[in-house]
Structure 1
């Protein structure tokens, strides 16, 4: 039988709920402000520094953003890069993570040291650009994927998750005649869905937010992802010289456009997250406990 909570316990719970509610509201308010600001007019944005409910509802900012057909091309580019890039990264990360999770792998410690080393040191911006140029990836979509294909942090999380799978399952599969690839794709990966969902979300967010690689490696404006194009739209709406092809008859509402750009850039990932939320915490936790 559950005993009634004592008064100090109830006060502690009330304090916790109050504190969490305040933190939740403080966290939510900036999002509400950004969304409300994207649906208001420039005049109201100029008069009010903080808006939660727009007095005059306006779609001018979104009308301005979507007044160029390039926005749809850039959106398709970002969706394609995020989808194919995530699949490619998960394939490579799973293969390498499974290999490093095998305790009988020769040179396992050396390979693991090299992986961790890349988290602390890297070649730098210019050497990386020179490598990408020399292999012929400039002005190709592959330049947005290949340099980011394997993230060391994601690899370590997935490797640790694979190590939590009982070795008896792999031994039973080998007795049944299954090879290493069969064990990985038929047993290990289906049992690792929480980690797969978590790492996939990490990679998807990385590819969706691709900005600097696109600035460095993509010279053709027709191949820009959504983040770079939205930057150009903000520059043009702010009165600075931007891409001439983005000129529109719709007057640019400066501050509202900036708010709308944030919404457009963030909304797709926010729509994906709820489908992976149930796996997210479990995958990140289990993959970080055992080394």
Structure 2
């Protein structure tokens, strides 16, 4: 039995093959959806159901927002969320500006120090510094216990520079040469021609930077000694790994009984992944065009 049949001159997969693909796809979707649904359901479950179901709920009998009210009532989680939002916004803006300028300069063959800078970027792509050298550099620059320690050491990603440079090289040379003949300078060409033609790859690289800043916790663990400056992911990591109940003063829920520990853990986890889930659908359609097209040449 063949796995393909011809219908109307078009070769398509046979029904058993399509059914098998559907089953595999359904299993893959279930492997992603079921754990996420369990996280959300556990964060919304009551203390009685969590005790009855062993701390993990797939479908809550009664919805309770007590865990979200506790962590969003002005305590450490709210402060950590604001810190993560600031670091993500400032870091993404700085990283995008530096990456665009560097990639555009490297895409111009006659730019100053073009070849040495390209070799430096390729070297940084192949060889990453260790934890101790990175810490010593941050310490020598006086960035310890500063938000800049979470941004400046990772402001430029060599892979993103290579992808963006390859995309810039793939742009029509006739358009750029025509603008140069009309008297446009490099900055005018960059902002009026190159960037409008590169929205897809810029959206993808911007998402890469934003997700990296939002999910980063190890750099905060290394460089931030003041717990008031901790981002959300480090608070989540510390709370889940240590398996300790956050204090009433930390959650800002003074005078009220704290929700179950499992519900608070899952509520913090949901809060940490919601921004990515909200932003991702708007840039997902750019991935194939932005990354694969930019990575073909280079």
Query: Do both share a fold (TM > 0.5)?
Result: yes
Q: Give the counterpart of 1:34 among 23, 32, 39.
A: 39
Task: Find the counterpart in structure 2 of residue 270 from structure 1.
Answer: 277
SS of 1:157's partner is helix
188-197 vs 250-259, which moves further = 250-259
Deviations 1:60-119 (A, max 9, x none): 322332244333222222112111211110010011111122233465444333212223
Task: Find the counterpart in structure 1 of residue 148 from structure 2.
Answer: 142
Q: Does the 8 A contact of 1:40 with 1:56 survive in 2? A: yes
CA distance in 2 between counterparts of 1:7 and 1:182 reads: 50
After the TM superposition, which residues 120-269 of structure 1 pair with which residues of structure 2 at under 5 Å, given as runs?
Answer: 120-234=126-240, 238-239=243-244, 245-246=249-250, 248-249=253-254, 250-269=257-276
Deviations 1:128-160 (A, max 9, x none): 112112212222221111111001111111111
Q: Give the counterpart of 2:63 among 57, 60, 63.
A: 57
SS of 2:14's partner is helix
Task: Find the counterpart in structure 2 of residue 11 from structure 1.
Answer: 16
> RMSD value over aligned CA atoms?
2.5
Equivalenced residue count is 288
CA distance in 2 between counterparts of 1:15 and 1:224 reads: 47
CA distance in 2 between counterparts of 1:6 and 1:129 reads: 58
Deviations 1:195-241 (A, max 9, x none): 000000000001111211212222223322222233444467x336x
Q: Does the 8 A contact of 2:145 with 2:224 survive in 1? A: yes
After the TM superposition, which residues 88-127 of structure 1 pair with which residues of structure 2 at under 5 Å, given as runs?
Answer: 88-105=94-111, 107-127=113-133
Task: Find the counterpart in structure 2 of residue 73 from structure 1.
Answer: 79
Q: Does the 8 A contact of 1:60 with 1:253 survive in 2? A: no
SS of 1:189's partner is helix
Deviation at 1:252?
A: 4.8
CA distance in 1 between counterparts of 2:210 and 2:147 reads: 15
After the TM superposition, which residues 270-289 of structure 1 pair with which residues of structure 2 at under 5 Å, given as runs?
Answer: 270-289=277-296
Deviation at 1:251?
A: 2.5
SS of 1:51's partner is coil
Listed as ranges, the gaps of 5+ residues in structure 2 are 1-6
CA distance in 2 between counterparts of 1:114 and 1:168 reads: 29
Deviation at 1:268?
A: 1.1
